[in-house]
């Protein structure tokens, strides 16, 4: 089996060298736990260190925020974008109608665009930040779950190694998304926690590989994630 090293400092050691090629991994956590940074760093390191073209799909409404967020780190994304090693796409789902049919049509259009972009740059990596943002546009719970299920499955069908993010709320450390849908479909779940002052990362599941079964300390620095694989955090200390 081929592995895709994320390039995120310390993370690959937790999953025996990298995530299985072609898998989809959900990165979940409360607000400010580092989900967006993890997803960006996966694409950035892929392009810079492994020469893997990557597509970063955001549901953030303001593209300036993305660039601003990346400039916050010592990452030169301009050069990688110029070389077609990295592309940022803002998913267009603002102004979705209310009826299931038009929502499904719009989303399937967006999937076609994503799939074309993947072909254009021959992307080996994809990140989508975040699935939670769908709930802003799709208010009806049953429809939202249906769309999430379909969307995440269709992304999986692209066959490239994918990181998705989902936000959890309410401080339940056993919840991995806000609607309980994404974690069933994906091959891996990585949970991020911030119990001030401690940040920790826990690999909840990873199909097809051995992985660490404990929580590990990490920091966010001006270079992004810095995970300390030897530094274990007591599960009971995570709230
Ligand atoms: N340059 C930096 N140095 C240290 N910490 C940072 C830096 N930039 C961002 N952070 C931390 O990362 C957090 C944001 O992470 P982010 O990935 O956006 O969270 P999430 O997507 O989970 O809501 C900030 O709240 C801050 O604590
Ligand atoms: Mg975020």
List of domains in the chain = 3-8+22-196 (3.40.50.300)
Find the 69 Cα to ligand 2 centroid distance in Å.
10
Lowest mean pLDDT among 54-68, 77-91, 103-117, 215-229: 54-68
Q: What is the pLDDT of residue 171?
A: 80
Q: By the 8 A CB rule, do 191 and 204 touch?
A: yes
Pocket test for ligand 1, best of 31, 33, 37 (most atoms within 8 A of CB): 37
Residue 67, pLDDT > 80, answer no
Over residues 53-60, mean pLDDT: 94
For 168-223, what is each residue's pLDDT tens digit? 988 889 999 988 999 999 999 999 999 999 999 999 999 999 999 999 999 999 99
Q: What is the pLDDT of residue 84?
A: 96
Find the 152 Cα to ligand 1 centroid distance in Å.
25
Report the alpha-carbon distance of residue 182 to residue 25 in Å, rounded.
Answer: 10
Q: Residue 22 corresponds to which tokens in the numbers above?
A: 């072609």
Q: Residue 183 corresponds to which tokens in the numbers above?
A: 């974690």
Pocket test for ligand 1, best of 74, 220, 221, 225 (most atoms within 8 A of CB): 220
Q: By the 8 A CB rule, do 167 and 191 touch?
A: no
Q: By the 8 A CB rule, do 225 and 218 touch?
A: yes
Find the 109 Cα to ligand 2 centroid distance in Å.
24
Most confident of 12-21, 52-61, 94-103, 146-155: 12-21
| SS3 call for 198 | strand
CA 139 from centroid of its chain's CA atoms: 23
For 109-165, what is each residue's pLDDT tens digit? 999 999 999 999 999 999 999 999 998 888 889 999 999 999 999 999 999 999 999
**Is the beta carbon of 171 within 6 A of some atom in ligand 1?**
no
Among protein residues, the one with the nearest Cα to ligand 1's atom 17 is 34
Tell me which long-range contacts 230-238 makes (C-beta under 8 A, separation of at least 24).
233/198, 233/200, 235/202, 237/195, 237/198, 238/173, 238/193, 238/195, 238/200, 238/202
Report the alpha-carbon distance of residue 230 to residue 232 in Å, rounded.
Answer: 6
- Ligand 2 is a single-atom ion; what residues have CB below 5 A from it? 35-36
Q: By the 8 A CB rule, do 154 and 114 touch?
A: no
**Is the beta carbon of 236 within 6 A of some atom in ligand 1?**
no
Measured at the CA of 190, the angle between CA 189 and CA 196, to 5 degrees, comes to 145
């Amino acid at each position: 089996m081929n592995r895709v090293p994320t390039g995120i400092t310390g993370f690959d050691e937790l999953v025996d060298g990298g995530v299985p090629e072609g898998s989809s991994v959900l990165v979940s956590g409360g607000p400010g736990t580092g989900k967006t940074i993890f997803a960006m760093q996966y694409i950035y390191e892929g392009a810079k260190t492994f020469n893997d073209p990557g597509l970063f799909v955001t549901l953030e409404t303001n593209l300036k925020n993305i660039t601003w967020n990346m400039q916050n780190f010592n990452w030169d994304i301009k050069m990688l974008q110029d070389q077609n090693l990295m592309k940022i796409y803002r998913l267009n789902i603002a102004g979705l109608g209310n009826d299931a049919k038009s929502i499904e049509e719009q989303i399937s259009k967006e999937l076609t665009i994503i799939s074309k972009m993947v072909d254009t740059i021959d992307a080996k990596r994809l990140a989508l930040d975040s699935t939670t943002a769908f709930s802003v546009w799709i208010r009806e719970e049953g429809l939202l779950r249906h769309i999430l299920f379909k969307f995440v499955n269709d992304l999986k069908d692209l066959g490239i190694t994918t990181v998705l993010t989902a936000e959890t709320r309410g401080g339940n450390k056993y919840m991995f998304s806000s609607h309980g849908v994404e974690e069933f479909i994906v091959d891996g779940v990585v949970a991020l926690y911030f119990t001030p002052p401690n940040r920790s990362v826990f690999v909840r599941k990873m199909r097809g590989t051995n992985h660490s079964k404990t929580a590990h300390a990490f920091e966010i620095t001006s270079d992004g994630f810095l995970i300390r694989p030897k530094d274990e955090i007591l599960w009971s200390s995570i709230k």
